[in-house]
Amino acid sequence: MTTHPRIAIVGAGPGGLTCARILQRHNIAVAVYDREAGPHVRNQGGSLDLREDNGQIALREAGLLDEFFRLSRLEGQEMRQLDPAGRILFHHTPDEGERFKPEIDRGDLRDLLLNSLAPGTVHWGHTLTSLEGPDEGPRRLRFADGSAVEADLVVGADGAWSTVRAAVSAALPEYTGISFLEAWFHDVENQHPEIAALVGQGGAAAADGSRGLFAQRNSGDHIRVYVIQRLPRTWIRDAGLTLQDTDALRTFLAEQFRDWSPALRRLFTDNDGGYVDRPINALAVPHTWDHNPTVTLLGDAAHLMPPLGVGVNLAMLDACELALAIAHNDTVADAIRAYERTMLPRSNEWQKTLDHGAEELISTELPDFVDGEGP
């Protein structure tokens, strides 16, 4: 850069933090703003696979690949596909030393990235309410606590319901017609040995064309299960239930899966605690926007898709390419053009490939799901 632009990244997820880390490795100042009160105020979610051809590229550029391999679970690449009767149709066991897509918990990945940043990089408790100023800048970010900052470049890494996105696009996520209900199992080797044996060290999936189950091993002897159904967005309310009606929801699910094997039905009847409702949303295909010289997007803010194995990997690859474009171009506007010249065609191709891909989550073949990441 011929100047020293003020760079503000909104969102401290894997994409935003990866971008900040690579910028700092190139001695470029950056600030990250996140609405959460701190890094550990909520559980960050399930396990992710980071792939050799995208997510691992970003970690290598961030100087964190070796540490990632120390934290990741190579055995988590095991994957099983079963039929509703519980018979194994497909079983991938990773080869010795296989590193194509090791698993890592979202929380561990976030901590890895956070701990690599200069102290004070992330500003917690900053919920962005508006982005003001002319397209040519400077931009003013206003937060819910009444504070405001100016920036010459604003990066929207703020996820599916991005506030930054409105500066370049009017698009909003839409419900895909597929809903997840998440369940947890703890201390599985001791408390749920049959579930542990069924799932193995990675993941296990089953579907019948209308509904499905995906169970995923996490670190710390935990397993997460996603009950996948083609239902209206308001299906819980339509059934006269609430999310807190755990026993009634179990009864509802038991009826939906009445023809499935008892072993598979235990994935939603024997869970510890209640459920989490996770409707699957996606952005319209293709999602693109006109060049803006001071604002750009990455990850789900740019190309929210169904959870079929590309989300976090594309977010981190986006972040890597944006950071390098900033480091290697003379102006912010030039950097954004260079980044979007590659990112938008790539994300559009993925969006087209996965358009209506949520249906694959309940397909009896599940060609992408058995190779994908959890939500």
Q: Are strands 122-123 and 31-33 parallel, antiparallel or unpaired?
A: parallel
Cα–Cα–Cα angle for 336, 170, 319, rounded to 5 degrees:
30
Query: What is the dotted CATH code of the domain comprising 174-282+361-371?
Result: 3.30.9.30
pLDDT tens figures, 116-154: 999 999 999 999 999 999 999 999 999 999 999 999 999
Q: What is the rounded CA–CA span in Å between residue 128 and residue 91?
A: 45
pLDDT of residue 285 exceeding 70, the answer is yes
pLDDT value at position 2? Answer: 59
- Those residues with Cβ within 8 angstroms of residue 134's Cβ, 6 or more apart along the chain or in another chain: none
pLDDT tens figures, 11-45: 999 999 999 999 999 999 999 999 999 888 877 67
Q: Letter for the amino acid at 76?
A: G
Per-residue pLDDT band at 62 (split at 50, 70, 90) = very high
Per-residue pLDDT band at 370 (split at 50, 70, 90) = very low
pLDDT value at position 78? Answer: 92
What's this model's pTM, rounded to 2 decimal places? Answer: 0.92
Per-residue pLDDT band at 375 (split at 50, 70, 90) = very low
**Which of 23-27, 35-39, 258-262, 369-373 shows the lowest per-residue confidence on average (mean pLDDT)?**
369-373
pLDDT of residue 363 exceeding 50, the answer is yes
pLDDT of residue 115 exceeding 80, the answer is yes
Q: What is the rounded CA–CA span in Å between residue 33 and residue 21?
A: 14
171, 285 contact by CB (below 8 A): no
For a pLDDT cut of 90, what percent of the chain falls above it?
Answer: 81
The phi-psi region of residue 356 (left if phi > 0; otherwise alpha if psi is between -120 and 50; otherwise beta) is left
- Those residues with Cβ within 8 angstroms of residue 8's Cβ, 6 or more apart along the chain or in another chain: 30, 31, 32, 33, 139, 141, 149, 151, 153, 154, 155
Fold held by 7-77+100-172+284-356: FAD/NAD(P)-binding domain (3.50.50)
Per-residue pLDDT band at 371 (split at 50, 70, 90) = very low
Q: What is the rounded CA–CA span in Å between residue 245 and residue 29?
A: 49
Mean pLDDT, rounded, of the chain: 92
pLDDT tens figures, 201-231: 999 999 998 999 999 999 889 999 999 999 9
pLDDT tens figures, 87-110: 999 898 888 888 889 999 999 999
Going from the C-alpha of 112 to that of each of 16, 224, 341, the distances in angstroms are: 13, 22, 29
pLDDT value at position 369? Answer: 39
pLDDT tens figures, 271-281: 999 999 999 99
- Domain boundaries defined on the chain: 7-77+100-172+284-356, 174-282+361-371
Check if 7-77+100-172+284-356 and 174-282+361-371 are the same fold.
no
pLDDT of residue 368 exceeding 70, the answer is no
Per-residue pLDDT band at 364 (split at 50, 70, 90) = confident
